[in-house]
Amino acid sequence: MTSKSVSDIVRLGPVIPVLAFETVEQGEHVSRALHAGGVKVLEITLRTPAGLGAIERACELADDIVVGVGTITKPEHCAQAKKAGAQFGVSPGLTKDMHQAAQDAGLPLLPGVMTPSDIILALELGYEIVKFFPAQQAGGVPMLQAFHGPFPALKFCPTGGITAESAPHFLSLPNVVCVGGSWLTPKSALAAQNWDEVTRLARAASQLAAPVH
C-alpha cells in the first residue's frame, strides 16, 4: 500500500469519521458500512482497548481504505499505530516529543491545535495542515475565520462537536480542507447493529461539497 501524505489524505473526502469501537468485530462492520457509503478515510481512535485491533482489521477490508489512528496522546502511540497498519495519526494536541516519535515511526501526523501558540509550534515543526480541536467548543467557524488573518497559509481539519448541519459552514471556509465527525456512527445505530443507517449517513457525508481550494 503506497504511503500517502496528510495533504493527500485530507483531500480524499470532505468528512473523516472519528470512531471508537467496543469490539474489533463492531469495528469491522462499521468500517465496511462506511466504505460502502463512499467514505475512504477512517480515524479509529485509541479511546477503547479495541482500537489497535480494529485498525488492523479495517486495513484489510479494501485497497482504497486509508486508516488512521486517532487520540494519539503519548509518543509511544505512534510506533504502536504504525505497527497496527495505520497510515496516518491524529492527535488532540502537539509536543516536540510527539512530533519526533511520529517522524521516527514514519507516521504522517495531523496534530491538534486550539490556540495561536499551538499553531505557532505546529508551524515551527513544519506542519501545513492541522486539526482544530475541539472545534465547536473552541470557537467554531468564527475562530477559524479569525485564524485566517495571521495564519493565511495554514489549512485546518476542524473536529469536535461538528454535526451534519454545521459541517457545510466549516467546509465553506477558505482554510478548511475537511472536517472530522462522529455523527456518521450514532450510538443508537451501533447498538441496534443498523449498518445500513451508517452507510446512509456516510453516503450523505460523502456528497457534502468538498472545498475547492
pLDDT tens digit at each of 213 positions of the chain? 567 999 999 999 999 999 999 999 999 999 999 999 999 999 999 999 999 999 999 999 999 999 999 999 999 999 999 999 999 999 999 999 999 999 999 999 999 999 999 999 999 999 999 999 999 999 999 999 999 999 999 999 999 999 999 999 999 999 999 999 999 999 999 999 999 999 999 999 999 976 765
Beta-carbon count within 10 A of 105 CB = 20
Q: Is 213 among the domain residues?
A: no
In this structure, what CATH number is given to the domain that contains residue 101? 3.20.20.70
Residue 192 C-beta-side C-alpha neighbours within 13 Å: 10
How many domains does the chain fold into?
1
Catalytic residues: 43, 131
Q: Is 57 among the domain residues?
A: yes
Residue 126, domain extent: 6-206
Q: Is 80 among the domain residues?
A: yes
Q: Is 124 among the domain residues?
A: yes
Residue with cell 492541522: 130
Residues pairing with 86 in the sheet:
none
The DSSP-derived string for 37-76 is: TT--EEEEESSSTTHHHHHHHHHTT-TT-EEEEE---STH
From the list 58, 90, 209, the residue with the least C-alpha distance to 157 is: 90
Query: What pTM value is reported for the model?
Result: 0.95
Q: Is 211 among the domain residues?
A: no
Q: Is 112 among the domain residues?
A: yes
Q: Is 194 among the domain residues?
A: yes
